[in-house]
Amino acid sequence: MNRRLLLAAGLLALLPAPAAAQGRGCLPNVVEIRTPAGGFARFRVELALTPAEQARGLMNRESLPEWAGMLFVYPRPQSATFWMKNTLIPLDMIFVGPDGTVRHVHPNAVPLDETPIPGGAGILAVLEINGGQAATLGITPGAVLRHPAFGPGAAWACPG
């Protein structure tokens, strides 16, 4: 894809989406994000729910599609620490509280680095996306995710 097309796609992701489009985010394989600056992004996600899926994560993958990621969901809020063992691509790690609010973003985690990456306490979910995307899209602490994992008490809850 050429550079202009990539830039255009990135700019479109920053524009607020129509309300009808934003209503489609409550599927298990979709995460929607509203940024503090009013931007909007949607990612197709794989879920990592079991300990085995969470231990494997995105290891040994040579690429990740641009608007894709992996959502790690825990049974209850906890301290979350990640690493990049056997992970071949740089990732942004977005640590999210039980209400769907981003608490911490670790940008551009280094492939194959086994240094622990702490996300803090009280984390219910972690979204991994391509390295650099969080900064490009303005995903910072205070951004809000919408996904069924956050339930009816979420800051941006799924409709009814």
Dump the DSSP string for 119-144: EEEEEEEEEEEETTHHHHHT--TT-E
Cβ atoms of 139 and 93 within 8 Å: the answer is: no
- Mean pLDDT confidence for 100-117: 98
- Structure tokens of 125? 């979910």
pLDDT 10s digits, 4-13: 333 333 433 4
pLDDT 10s digits, 45-75: 999 999 999 999 999 999 999 999 999 999 9
Q: Looking at residue 114, what DSSP letter applies?
A: -
**More confident of the two residues 23 and 80:** 80
Tell me the pTM. 0.86
Cβ atoms of 93 and 106 within 8 Å: the answer is: yes
- Mean pLDDT confidence for 101-128: 98
- Structure tokens of 86? 């056997």
- Structure tokens of 25? 């985010």
pLDDT 10s digits, 15-29: 334 333 444 559 999
Check residue 160 and give its pLDDT: 73
Q: Looking at residue 152, what DSSP letter applies?
A: T
Kindly report the average pLDDT of the chain as a whole number.
88
Check residue 55 and give its pLDDT: 96
Instruction: Give the number of C-alpha atoms closer than 13 A to the C-alpha of residue 153, restricted to the C-beta side.
Output: 3
The pLDDT-based confidence of 142 (bands split at 50, 70, 90) is very high
